[in-house]
Amino acid sequence: MTSTNKIHPKYSIIPAQAIIEMVLILPLLLLLILGAMDFGRMFYTKMVITDAAREGVNYLSKNPDDKSNSYVNTKAVIVASGESSGITVTSGEITFTNCCTQGLPVSVTVTKAANFMFAKFLQIGGTPSLISTVTMVVQ
């Protein structure tokens, strides 16, 4: 008895099949990877602006007289905190609420636009804003 290892022509593998599969799957894979990267960047930015707002309200709660100086020193603390982590926070993105009566809470809000890497590619309408508000009692 002789055995033959002939593959039925109907089930033979075409060499270009792997290339075609990769061409079909690669855009979806790249979209998932870039989306995860954008989410990570947005999460990191949110953490940094929350920390910057926390630093600013901590400074302002201990130095309430900075209100008479148009919050210059408090804004400098917030900007420096953001820049130390690689995120640029401008004075226009910082707001203060209920300042500065001793024993009452003061709030600092930092608002930052979330810039996506490939928003133009997906044609996403509008830019979402990341907002962090921190409240502390003036000492």
Q: Is the pLDDT of residue 10 over 70?
A: no
Confidence at residue 17, expressed as pLDDT on a 0 to 100 scale? 81
Per-residue model confidence (pLDDT) at position 34: 87
How far, in Å, CA of 81 to CA of 40, rounded?
Answer: 20
How much is the average pLDDT of 102-107? 95
For residues 45 and 48, give the distance between their C-alpha atoms in angstroms, rounded to a whole number: 5
Q: Report, as an integer, the average pLDDT of 107-133.
A: 82
| pLDDT score at 2 | 57
SS3 116: coil
Nearest to 52 by CA among 78, 80, 91, 72: 78
Please choose, from the candidates 46, 44, 81, 90, the residue with its C-alpha nearest in 3D space to the C-alpha of residue 60.
81
Give the torsion sign (CA, 95, 68, 88, 42).
negative
| pLDDT at site 128 | 84
Determine if the peptide bond prior to 99 is cis (ω within 30°). Answer: no
Confidence of residue 126 (pLDDT cuts 50, 70, 90): confident
From 10-19, 64-73, 79-88, the region with the lowest mean pLDDT: 10-19
Predicted confidence at residue 134, as pLDDT, reads: 97
- pLDDT range class, residue 8, cuts 50, 70, 90: low
In this structure, how many other beta carbons lie within 10 angstroms of the beta carbon of residue 10?
5
Contacts of 47 (CB under 8 A, 6+ apart): none
